[in-house]
Amino acid sequence: MPLVPMRQVLMEAAKGAYGVGAFNVNNMEQIQAIAAAANDTRSPVIIQASRGALQYSRMRYLRNLIAAAVEENPDIPIVMHLDHGNSLETCEQAIALGFTSVMIDASLEQDGKTIASYEYNVKTTREVVEYAHRLGVTVEAELGALGGIEDGHGAGIRGDEHLTDPDQVEDFVKQTGCDALAVAIGTSHGAYKTLRYDESGNPLPPRLALERIEEIHKRVPDLPLVMHGSSSVPPELVEIVNRYGGNMQKAMGIPMEDIKFGIQRGVRKINVDTDGRIAFTGAIRKVFVESPGEFDPRKYLAPARDALTELIKGKMTDYGQAGHAGDYEPMTLQDAKKTWYS
Protein backbone atom coordinates (compact mmCIF):
# COMPACT_ATOMS: atom_id res chain seq x y z
CA MET A 1 0.00 0.00 0.00
CA PRO A 2 1.43 3.40 -0.91
CA LEU A 3 1.31 6.39 1.39
CA VAL A 4 -2.23 7.74 1.31
CA PRO A 5 -3.63 11.29 1.15
CA MET A 6 -4.70 12.58 4.54
CA ARG A 7 -7.99 13.87 3.15
CA GLN A 8 -9.13 10.31 2.50
CA VAL A 9 -8.16 9.13 5.99
CA LEU A 10 -10.01 12.03 7.63
CA MET A 11 -13.09 11.65 5.44
CA GLU A 12 -13.29 7.96 6.33
CA ALA A 13 -12.89 8.89 9.99
CA ALA A 14 -15.85 11.26 9.61
CA LYS A 15 -17.95 8.42 8.18
CA GLY A 16 -17.06 6.25 11.17
CA ALA A 17 -17.28 9.07 13.73
CA TYR A 18 -13.79 8.48 15.10
CA GLY A 19 -10.54 10.41 15.41
CA VAL A 20 -7.11 9.59 14.01
CA GLY A 21 -3.94 10.16 16.01
CA ALA A 22 -1.17 12.16 14.35
CA PHE A 23 2.10 11.26 16.06
CA ASN A 24 5.29 13.30 15.78
CA VAL A 25 8.58 11.60 15.01
CA ASN A 26 12.29 12.40 15.08
CA ASN A 27 13.99 9.02 14.68
CA MET A 28 13.70 5.39 13.59
CA GLU A 29 12.52 3.99 16.92
CA GLN A 30 9.58 6.39 17.10
CA ILE A 31 8.50 5.49 13.56
CA GLN A 32 8.79 1.80 14.34
CA ALA A 33 6.70 2.23 17.49
CA ILE A 34 3.92 4.07 15.65
CA ALA A 35 3.86 1.50 12.85
CA ALA A 36 3.80 -1.39 15.34
CA ALA A 37 0.93 0.17 17.27
CA ALA A 38 -1.03 0.76 14.07
CA ASN A 39 -0.44 -2.82 12.96
CA ASP A 40 -1.38 -4.30 16.35
CA THR A 41 -4.60 -2.28 16.55
CA ARG A 42 -5.37 -2.34 12.81
CA SER A 43 -5.48 1.45 12.71
CA PRO A 44 -5.01 4.04 9.98
CA VAL A 45 -2.39 6.48 11.19
CA ILE A 46 -0.77 9.85 10.49
CA ILE A 47 3.00 10.04 10.99
CA GLN A 48 4.10 13.63 11.07
CA ALA A 49 7.33 15.57 11.25
CA SER A 50 7.71 19.15 12.40
CA ARG A 51 10.24 21.56 10.94
CA GLY A 52 12.35 20.98 14.06
CA ALA A 53 12.30 17.24 13.46
CA LEU A 54 13.26 17.71 9.83
CA GLN A 55 16.20 19.90 10.83
CA TYR A 56 17.31 17.29 13.35
CA SER A 57 16.88 14.17 11.22
CA ARG A 58 16.98 15.71 7.73
CA MET A 59 13.94 15.33 5.50
CA ARG A 60 15.32 12.49 3.41
CA TYR A 61 16.19 10.31 6.41
CA LEU A 62 12.70 10.60 7.86
CA ARG A 63 11.09 10.15 4.45
CA ASN A 64 12.95 6.91 3.88
CA LEU A 65 12.28 5.61 7.40
CA ILE A 66 8.56 6.23 6.95
CA ALA A 67 8.75 4.54 3.54
CA ALA A 68 10.22 1.50 5.30
CA ALA A 69 7.29 1.50 7.74
CA VAL A 70 4.89 1.53 4.78
CA GLU A 71 6.75 -1.36 3.16
CA GLU A 72 6.62 -3.40 6.38
CA ASN A 73 2.93 -2.69 6.93
CA PRO A 74 1.37 -2.85 3.47
CA ASP A 75 -2.22 -3.16 4.71
CA ILE A 76 -2.15 -0.13 7.03
CA PRO A 77 -3.17 3.30 5.62
CA ILE A 78 -0.29 5.61 6.53
CA VAL A 79 -0.15 9.36 5.92
CA MET A 80 3.17 11.23 5.86
CA HIS A 81 2.42 14.74 7.06
CA LEU A 82 4.42 17.94 7.47
CA ASP A 83 3.52 19.54 10.80
CA HIS A 84 3.58 23.34 11.12
CA GLY A 85 5.09 24.25 7.80
CA ASN A 86 5.89 27.95 7.91
CA SER A 87 6.06 28.85 4.22
CA LEU A 88 5.21 27.75 0.71
CA GLU A 89 8.88 26.87 0.20
CA THR A 90 8.92 24.48 3.19
CA CYS A 91 5.75 22.79 1.95
CA GLU A 92 7.15 22.50 -1.58
CA GLN A 93 10.26 20.75 -0.20
CA ALA A 94 8.16 18.26 1.74
CA ILE A 95 5.88 17.54 -1.21
CA ALA A 96 8.89 16.99 -3.47
CA LEU A 97 10.08 14.31 -1.07
CA GLY A 98 6.76 12.48 -1.13
CA PHE A 99 4.82 13.88 1.80
CA THR A 100 1.13 13.19 1.14
CA SER A 101 -0.09 15.99 3.38
CA VAL A 102 1.24 19.32 4.60
CA MET A 103 0.20 21.81 7.22
CA ILE A 104 0.73 25.46 6.49
CA ASP A 105 0.54 27.37 9.75
CA ALA A 106 0.18 30.95 8.58
CA SER A 107 -1.55 31.94 11.81
CA LEU A 108 2.01 32.87 12.75
CA GLU A 109 4.63 34.57 10.63
CA GLN A 110 7.60 32.59 9.32
CA ASP A 111 9.47 32.86 12.63
CA GLY A 112 6.83 30.57 14.15
CA LYS A 113 6.18 32.93 17.06
CA THR A 114 4.73 36.25 15.84
CA ILE A 115 0.96 36.41 15.42
CA ALA A 116 0.11 37.02 11.76
CA SER A 117 -2.75 39.02 10.34
CA TYR A 118 -5.86 37.31 9.03
CA GLU A 119 -5.04 38.60 5.54
CA TYR A 120 -1.53 37.11 5.68
CA ASN A 121 -2.97 33.77 6.83
CA VAL A 122 -5.50 33.65 3.99
CA LYS A 123 -2.98 34.65 1.31
CA THR A 124 -0.24 32.26 2.41
CA THR A 125 -2.60 29.34 2.97
CA ARG A 126 -4.18 29.84 -0.44
CA GLU A 127 -0.76 29.78 -2.12
CA VAL A 128 0.04 26.43 -0.51
CA VAL A 129 -3.38 25.00 -1.34
CA GLU A 130 -3.07 25.95 -5.01
CA TYR A 131 0.37 24.34 -5.23
CA ALA A 132 -0.43 21.19 -3.22
CA HIS A 133 -3.78 20.41 -4.83
CA ARG A 134 -2.21 20.35 -8.28
CA LEU A 135 -0.31 17.30 -6.99
CA GLY A 136 -3.14 15.69 -5.01
CA VAL A 137 -1.62 16.61 -1.65
CA THR A 138 -3.85 17.40 1.35
CA VAL A 139 -3.50 20.77 3.10
CA GLU A 140 -4.20 21.46 6.77
CA ALA A 141 -4.43 25.11 7.80
CA GLU A 142 -4.71 26.89 11.15
CA LEU A 143 -7.01 29.73 12.17
CA GLY A 144 -6.30 31.32 15.52
CA ALA A 145 -2.98 30.76 17.29
CA LEU A 146 -1.92 27.90 19.53
CA GLY A 147 -0.33 28.72 22.87
CA GLY A 148 2.87 27.38 24.37
CA ILE A 149 6.29 26.90 22.80
CA GLU A 150 7.60 23.51 21.74
CA ASP A 151 10.11 22.55 19.07
CA GLY A 152 10.63 26.25 18.38
CA HIS A 153 7.01 26.76 17.46
CA GLY A 154 4.12 28.49 19.23
CA ALA A 155 2.87 31.91 20.13
CA GLY A 156 3.70 31.65 23.83
CA ILE A 157 0.23 32.93 24.74
CA ARG A 158 -2.08 31.98 27.57
CA GLY A 159 -5.71 32.61 28.36
CA ASP A 160 -8.29 33.44 25.70
CA GLU A 161 -6.02 35.39 23.38
CA HIS A 162 -6.19 34.52 19.71
CA LEU A 163 -8.68 31.66 19.93
CA THR A 164 -10.35 30.70 16.66
CA ASP A 165 -13.22 33.03 15.84
CA PRO A 166 -16.15 30.95 14.55
CA ASP A 167 -17.37 33.98 12.59
CA GLN A 168 -14.22 33.86 10.43
CA VAL A 169 -14.22 30.15 9.69
CA GLU A 170 -16.57 30.03 6.71
CA ASP A 171 -14.84 32.91 4.98
CA PHE A 172 -11.40 31.43 5.67
CA VAL A 173 -12.30 28.01 4.31
CA LYS A 174 -14.00 29.51 1.25
CA GLN A 175 -11.04 31.74 0.43
CA THR A 176 -8.31 29.15 1.04
CA GLY A 177 -9.86 25.82 0.00
CA CYS A 178 -8.05 23.98 2.82
CA ASP A 179 -8.88 20.32 3.48
CA ALA A 180 -8.66 20.39 7.29
CA LEU A 181 -8.57 23.15 9.88
CA ALA A 182 -6.62 23.28 13.13
CA VAL A 183 -8.64 25.25 15.66
CA ALA A 184 -7.27 27.18 18.63
CA ILE A 185 -9.45 26.45 21.65
CA GLY A 186 -6.96 26.88 24.48
CA THR A 187 -4.68 23.88 23.95
CA SER A 188 -0.93 24.45 23.79
CA HIS A 189 2.26 22.70 22.87
CA GLY A 190 4.44 21.13 25.54
CA ALA A 191 3.95 19.36 28.87
CA TYR A 192 2.92 22.40 30.89
CA LYS A 193 -0.45 23.32 29.46
CA THR A 194 -1.96 24.86 32.58
CA LEU A 195 -1.05 27.30 35.33
CA ARG A 196 -4.03 26.19 37.43
CA TYR A 197 -3.60 24.20 40.64
CA ASP A 198 -5.95 23.00 43.36
CA GLU A 199 -5.58 23.71 47.07
CA SER A 200 -3.11 20.85 47.47
CA GLY A 201 -0.89 22.07 44.64
CA ASN A 202 -2.05 19.48 42.13
CA PRO A 203 -2.39 20.69 38.55
CA LEU A 204 -5.81 21.19 37.03
CA PRO A 205 -6.60 20.70 33.35
CA PRO A 206 -6.55 23.77 31.12
CA ARG A 207 -9.83 25.53 30.53
CA LEU A 208 -10.73 24.78 26.93
CA ALA A 209 -13.25 26.67 24.85
CA LEU A 210 -14.94 23.45 23.80
CA GLU A 211 -18.07 25.29 22.77
CA ARG A 212 -16.06 26.79 19.92
CA ILE A 213 -15.53 23.34 18.42
CA GLU A 214 -19.28 22.85 18.49
CA GLU A 215 -19.95 26.22 16.87
CA ILE A 216 -17.25 25.79 14.22
CA HIS A 217 -18.54 22.32 13.34
CA LYS A 218 -22.00 23.78 12.80
CA ARG A 219 -20.55 26.37 10.41
CA VAL A 220 -18.45 23.86 8.37
CA PRO A 221 -19.95 20.43 9.10
CA ASP A 222 -18.08 18.65 6.31
CA LEU A 223 -14.62 20.01 7.15
CA PRO A 224 -12.36 17.82 9.33
CA LEU A 225 -11.16 19.71 12.40
CA VAL A 226 -7.79 19.24 14.08
CA MET A 227 -6.77 19.46 17.74
CA HIS A 228 -3.14 20.41 18.30
CA GLY A 229 -1.40 20.21 21.67
CA SER A 230 -3.52 17.21 22.65
CA SER A 231 -1.13 15.26 24.85
CA SER A 232 -2.70 14.17 28.14
CA VAL A 233 0.61 14.16 30.11
CA PRO A 234 -0.25 10.97 32.06
CA PRO A 235 0.96 11.32 35.68
CA GLU A 236 2.19 7.72 35.72
CA LEU A 237 4.61 8.52 32.88
CA VAL A 238 5.82 11.70 34.60
CA GLU A 239 6.33 9.66 37.78
CA ILE A 240 8.57 7.18 35.93
CA VAL A 241 10.73 10.02 34.59
CA ASN A 242 11.11 11.51 38.06
CA ARG A 243 11.65 8.16 39.81
CA TYR A 244 14.67 7.55 37.63
CA GLY A 245 16.38 10.89 38.05
CA GLY A 246 14.17 13.31 36.14
CA ASN A 247 12.80 16.57 37.43
CA MET A 248 9.50 17.18 35.67
CA GLN A 249 7.01 19.44 37.40
CA LYS A 250 3.51 18.27 38.19
CA ALA A 251 1.54 18.84 35.02
CA MET A 252 -1.75 18.02 33.42
CA GLY A 253 -2.58 17.85 29.75
CA ILE A 254 -5.84 17.47 27.87
CA PRO A 255 -8.28 15.01 29.52
CA MET A 256 -9.48 12.23 27.26
CA GLU A 257 -13.08 13.24 27.83
CA ASP A 258 -12.33 16.64 26.27
CA ILE A 259 -10.73 14.99 23.24
CA LYS A 260 -13.72 12.67 22.88
CA PHE A 261 -16.02 15.70 23.12
CA GLY A 262 -14.18 17.11 20.13
CA ILE A 263 -14.30 13.84 18.19
CA GLN A 264 -18.08 13.78 18.63
CA ARG A 265 -18.18 17.27 17.08
CA GLY A 266 -16.02 16.98 14.01
CA VAL A 267 -12.43 16.65 15.27
CA ARG A 268 -10.81 14.01 13.09
CA LYS A 269 -7.07 14.58 13.64
CA ILE A 270 -5.52 14.66 17.11
CA ASN A 271 -1.87 15.72 17.41
CA VAL A 272 0.27 13.99 20.03
CA ASP A 273 3.96 14.64 20.66
CA THR A 274 4.73 15.34 24.32
CA ASP A 275 3.22 12.13 25.70
CA GLY A 276 5.47 10.13 23.41
CA ARG A 277 8.53 12.08 24.51
CA ILE A 278 7.73 11.42 28.17
CA ALA A 279 7.17 7.69 27.64
CA PHE A 280 10.37 7.41 25.59
CA THR A 281 12.47 9.35 28.10
CA GLY A 282 11.13 7.46 31.12
CA ALA A 283 12.05 4.10 29.62
CA ILE A 284 15.57 5.26 28.82
CA ARG A 285 16.09 6.73 32.29
CA LYS A 286 14.98 3.45 33.85
CA VAL A 287 17.66 1.52 31.96
CA PHE A 288 20.35 4.04 32.89
CA VAL A 289 19.50 3.85 36.60
CA GLU A 290 18.98 0.09 36.82
CA SER A 291 21.92 -0.77 34.54
CA PRO A 292 24.43 2.08 34.94
CA GLY A 293 27.12 0.17 33.11
CA GLU A 294 25.02 -0.17 29.97
CA PHE A 295 26.36 1.64 26.90
CA ASP A 296 24.74 -0.23 24.01
CA PRO A 297 22.10 2.10 22.49
CA ARG A 298 20.02 -0.91 21.50
CA LYS A 299 19.60 -1.83 25.16
CA TYR A 300 17.89 1.45 26.04
CA LEU A 301 16.30 2.43 22.74
CA ALA A 302 14.43 -0.88 22.42
CA PRO A 303 12.61 -0.46 25.79
CA ALA A 304 11.86 3.14 24.83
CA ARG A 305 10.37 1.95 21.55
CA ASP A 306 8.25 -0.62 23.39
CA ALA A 307 6.98 1.96 25.88
CA LEU A 308 5.99 4.27 23.04
CA THR A 309 4.23 1.45 21.20
CA GLU A 310 2.05 0.70 24.24
CA LEU A 311 1.23 4.37 24.75
CA ILE A 312 0.14 4.81 21.13
CA LYS A 313 -1.93 1.63 21.13
CA GLY A 314 -3.91 3.10 24.00
CA LYS A 315 -4.41 6.37 22.14
CA MET A 316 -5.60 4.58 19.03
CA THR A 317 -8.16 2.67 21.04
CA ASP A 318 -9.34 5.80 22.86
CA TYR A 319 -9.69 7.82 19.64
CA GLY A 320 -11.75 5.07 18.03
CA GLN A 321 -9.47 4.45 15.04
CA ALA A 322 -8.55 0.91 16.10
CA GLY A 323 -9.98 -1.72 13.79
CA HIS A 324 -10.57 0.62 10.84
CA ALA A 325 -7.43 -0.04 8.77
CA GLY A 326 -9.22 -2.30 6.31
CA ASP A 327 -12.41 -0.30 5.88
CA TYR A 328 -11.53 1.25 2.53
CA GLU A 329 -9.39 0.97 -0.57
CA PRO A 330 -6.51 3.44 -0.23
CA MET A 331 -6.15 6.23 -2.76
CA THR A 332 -3.00 7.51 -4.43
CA LEU A 333 -2.19 11.18 -4.86
CA GLN A 334 -3.25 10.85 -8.48
CA ASP A 335 -6.60 9.46 -7.35
CA ALA A 336 -6.98 12.39 -4.95
CA LYS A 337 -6.17 14.88 -7.67
CA LYS A 338 -8.75 13.45 -10.05
CA THR A 339 -11.41 13.03 -7.36
CA TRP A 340 -11.20 16.37 -5.57
CA TYR A 341 -8.89 18.86 -7.24
CA SER A 342 -9.26 18.63 -11.01
**pLDDT tens digits, one per residue of 232-270:** 888 999 999 999 999 998 777 888 999 999 999 999 999
State the Cα–Cα distance between residues 13 and 20, nearest whole angstrom.
7
**β-bridge mates for residue 153, sequence order:** 150
Backbone phi and psi for residue 10, each to the nearest 5 degrees, phi listed first = -75, -35
Q: Of 40, 75, 83, 167, which is the active-site residue?
A: 83
Residue 335 is among the residues annotated as catalytic for this protein: no
State the Cα–Cα distance between residues 271 and 274, nearest whole angstrom.
10
DSSP state of 250: P
Which residues of the chain are modeled with pLDDT < 50?
A: 148-159
Enter the pTM of the model.
Answer: 0.91
State the Cα–Cα distance between residues 11 and 53, nearest whole angstrom.
27
State the Cα–Cα distance between residues 143 and 105, nearest whole angstrom.
8
Q: What's the topology of domain 6-341?
A: TIM Barrel (3.20.20)
